Amino acid sequence: MSQAPEPRKTLDPDQVAFWLARHPDFFVGREGLLQQLKVPHPHIDGAVSLLERLVIDLRQRADSAEGRLEHLLETARHNEAQYRRLRETLLALIEAEDRDALAQALAVQLGERFDTPAMALWCPASLSDDEPAPPQPPRHVLDQHATARLTALLDGRTSRCAKLSVSDWKCLLPHTKPPRKAGSCAVSRLAAGEPVGYLLLASPDPQCYRASMDTLFTEYLGDIVARLLQRLDGHG
C-alpha cells in the first residue's frame, strides 16, 4: 500500500520578506534572477520587471514628496500674507485717537484686508468727559440687553464662532442691513485685566464662521483692541 504524499508546504510571505531583509546580499551573483522576476503593475493589468516596478515606485514617491513640499510652500505663503495683513491692521488701530476712530479703523481694515462683511464693537460708556455722544457705528454702548445676547452667543467661552439669527443680527449690528436668513459670526469677549466689551464679526453666509473654526485670530485681535480701549480711557 503506497504512502500518501505529504501536503505541499508553502512559504509564509512575511517570513520570506523577513529573511530577505536579513540577507541583502542574496541577489549578489544572481542578477539574472532579478531580471526574470515579474511583479504586478500598480495601475494596469499585466506584469513588469522588478526594476521597472522600482522605477514606478520611486517616481510615485517623488511626486508625493513634491506635493507635500508644494503644500508646505502654499501654507507658508498664506501665513506670510496673513501676517502682513494683520500687521497693517494693527498699525492702523494704534493710530486711533478715540473709541469711534478705533471702531472705524477696525471696520475698514477687517473689510478691506480680511473680507469681513460686518462688525460691531460693544463696550461700556466711556469714563472720559470729552467724548461726544452718541457713539458712532460700528461702536455701540453696551447695555444689559446686548450683554445678555452676546453672553449667550459665547456660551461660556472667551471666543467662539456660531450661527447668528436674524433677530440677533438686528440687535447686535443695528447699523447694518440684516440678512433674510440666519448668518454666522465670530464673537470675542474683550478683557485687559477687567472686562471692557465685545468684538463681533458677522457674515450673512452661515458657513463663513463655522463652529469648528479656530478662533485664534479673533482672540488675538480682541486682546489688542481691549488694551487700546484701556489706553484711550487713560488706563494704559
Model pLDDT for residues 44-65, shown as the tens digit of each residue: 666 666 667 677 778 888 989 9
> What topology does CATH give the domain 98-232?
Beta-Lactamase (3.30.450)
pLDDT at 129: 46
H-run or E-run covering 111 = helix 99-114
Position 43: which residue type?
Answer: H
The per-residue pLDDT of the chain, averaged, comes to: 86
* Phi and psi torsions of 211, nearest 5°: -60, -25
pLDDT band, very low/low/confident/very high, at 193 (cuts 50, 70, 90): confident
- The answer to whether residues 196 and 224 touch, using CB atoms and an 8 Å cutoff, is no
With cell 501654507, the residue in question is 75
pLDDT tens digit sequence for 103-140: 999 999 999 999 999 999 999 986 554 555 678 999 99
Section 171-200 average pLDDT: 94
- Could you tell me whether strands 183-191 and 159-164 are parallel, antiparallel, or unpaired per DSSP bridges? antiparallel
Instruction: Choose among 131, 142, 146: nearest CA to 99.
Output: 131
Q: What's the CA gap between 66 and 44, in Å, rounded?
A: 24
Among 12-26, 58-72, 145-159, top mean pLDDT goes to 145-159
